[in-house]
Amino acid sequence: MSEEQTRHRGRLKIFLGYAAGVGKTYKMLEEARELQRAGHDVAVGYFEPHGRAETIAKLEGLELIARNVVDYRGHKFEEMDTDAILSRHPEICAVDEFPHTNVPGSERTKRWEDVAVLLDAGIDVLTTMNIQHLESLNDQMREITGIQVRETIPDWVVKQASEVVLVDLTPSALLNRLQRGVVYGPEKAQRAMENFFKESTLGALRELALRQTAHEVDVRHADSPQPAHNGAAEVASGANFAPIHEEQERILIHVTEAPATAGLIRRGRRVADYLKADCFAVCVLPSGALADQPAADREALQRHLDFARQLQIETRVLEGKDDALTLVDFARRNGVTQIFLAKPPRQLLPLLQKRQTAMRVVELAKDMQVIIVAERRRAALS
């Protein structure tokens, strides 16, 4: 690989949708062909056709790099061959299904990690994903769709993209495509319309995708004087932009062993992103050491702290016998403006201390905004 190839990091462009069938892969390949016609060296590193004839036709004339075959438990699986792409080293590489989890035995766990390797090598990447795979929206997705999304991408990965383009289609138009067999075969299409592909669900997901893309525009406008079409995000007209706050916000997330803490971390991270705020995830322990906690609590706390670090949140384990006092003292010393606490369940006796902690933080932190977040629960379907 030459010095010319390695001296800069590649640019990432994400084609974002809200559901399968809106046309993300089609648009990605369409752009790849336009770039090739303009004289750029373009290759396709991974393409998932899903039997869609219109999308497959867009592959014509593009170089498709062969996949890597991985043997797992006696079966053969095909994954993107990152080493082959690096060896070929195109100027631009199209990579479908950004959130994909690689089969065990692959060099990296996630496709977005493979893409990071390509970017580090100076290769520009075009890729696709749906809004439900964004990590900070995981709880909302479960509430809207009733489905727990397992394949997620950390928000910081998406924020590193040079461009985020919303591939938009109205829910009614998408359902029409589904009924015509453009998205899935007849049987699968019917199951989809009875479950995930309900118009109300698609409408909610589309709104989230519009808001997220508007937020990407806002972040890039705040960070750079360049116009939106240069290294920014594209969005349908009429979307609301997140406000830009002049004063620096700082957010503190209280980490406990409670299961609701994961959702709290996602909520705090997302608010921090919208406010462009610093973010802390803080755990208070009597001895200040995780090792002194009971095994189950220690494992839960470690899992939550690791999750926060994965979302690029600064973590702290503080020593203190009074959780509320220790949290508020840390918040004041570090200029925190908002404190996020999980709302304890209604089981008074065993959780009385935790309920008192939340109320005491409210009393002690009069100069800060205290947000007590209830765990999201999907309403029962009638």
The reply to whether 280 falls in a domain is yes
Q: Are 20 and 128 in contact (CB under 8 A)?
A: no
Residue 238 has a pLDDT of: 31
Closest by CA to 375, choosing from 347, 354, 352, 344, is 344
In 3D space, the residue among 187, 204, 119, 169 whose CA is nearest the CA of residue 17 turns out to be: 169
Domain boundary among 234, 267, 294: 234
Whether residues 26 and 94 fall in one domain: yes
Going by C-alpha positions, the residue among 369, 374, 155, 152 that lies closest to residue 276 is 155
Q: Is residue 242 part of a domain?
A: no
Radius of gyration of the chain (CA): 23
| Residue 203: alpha-carbon gap to chain centroid | 19
User: Could you give the 3-state DSSP secondary structure of residue 239?
Assistant: coil
**40 and 159 part of one domain:** yes
- Residues paired with 130 in a beta bridge: 17
For residues 79 and 224, membership in a common domain is answered with yes
Q: How far apart are CA 15 and CA 298, in angstroms?
A: 40
What is the spatial distance between Cα 309 and Cα 311, in angstroms, rounded to a whole number?
A: 5
- Token output for 278: 């610093």
**Is 198 in contact with 127 (CB distance < 8 Å)?**
no
206 and 257 assigned to the same domain: no
Say if 239 falls within a structural domain.
Answer: no
- 282 in the same domain as 164: no
In-domain check, residue 123: yes
Are 183 and 330 in a shared domain?
Answer: no
pLDDT at position 342: 87
Which of 234, 268, 302 corresponds to the end of one domain? 234
What is residue 347's predicted lDDT score, i.e. its pLDDT?
Answer: 54
Do the domain assignments include residue 292?
yes
Q: How far apart, in Å, are the Cα atoms of 81 and each of 30, 84, 157, 279?
A: 22, 5, 21, 36
Burial-class residue 164 by CB neighbours within 10 Å (0-12, 13-18, 19+): buried
SS3 70: strand
- Residues, the chain: 382
Q: Is the pTM of this model over 0.75?
A: no
Note whether 175 and 71 are same-domain residues. Answer: yes
CATH of the domain at 340: 3.40.50.620
The pLDDT score that the predictor gives to residue 210 is: 85
Domain endpoint, select from 175, 208, 234: 234
The DSSP-derived string for 189-223 is HHHHHHTT--HHHHHHHHHHHHHHHHHHHHHHHHH
pLDDT at 345: 64
Domain of 340 in residue numbering reads as 250-373
Q: Identify the CATH number of the domain in which residue 87 sits.
A: 3.40.50.300
Rounded average pLDDT per 10-residue block, the chain, 382 residues: 60 94 93 96 92 86 94 91 97 97 93 97 97 88 84 91 90 88 82 82 87 71 48 37 53 93 91 88 92 92 93 91 92 91 65 69 89 64 34
199 located within any domain? yes
3-31 confidence digits (pLDDT tens):
444 458 999 999 999 999 999 999 999 99
Q: How many domains does the chain have?
A: 2
Using DSSP, state whether 31 is helix, strand or coil: helix
Whether 202 and 120 map to the same domain: the answer is yes
Judge if 228 and 324 occupy the same domain: no
Residue 293 in contact with residue 301, Cβ under 8 Å? yes
Query: With contact defined as beta carbons under 8 Å apart, do 146 and 2 qualify?
Result: no
CB-CB contact of 55 with 25 (8 Å):
yes
Q: Are residues 51 and 144 in the same domain?
A: yes
Within a domain: 382: no
> Are 349 and 279 part of one and the same domain?
yes
* CB-based contact 97:78 (threshold 8 Å): no
Rounded distance between C-alpha atoms, residue 121 and residue 94, angstroms: 15
Give the whole-angstrom CA distance, residue 158 versus residue 163: 9
Residue 245 placed within a domain: no
Query: Based on the domain organization, do 148 and 291 belong to the same domain?
Result: no
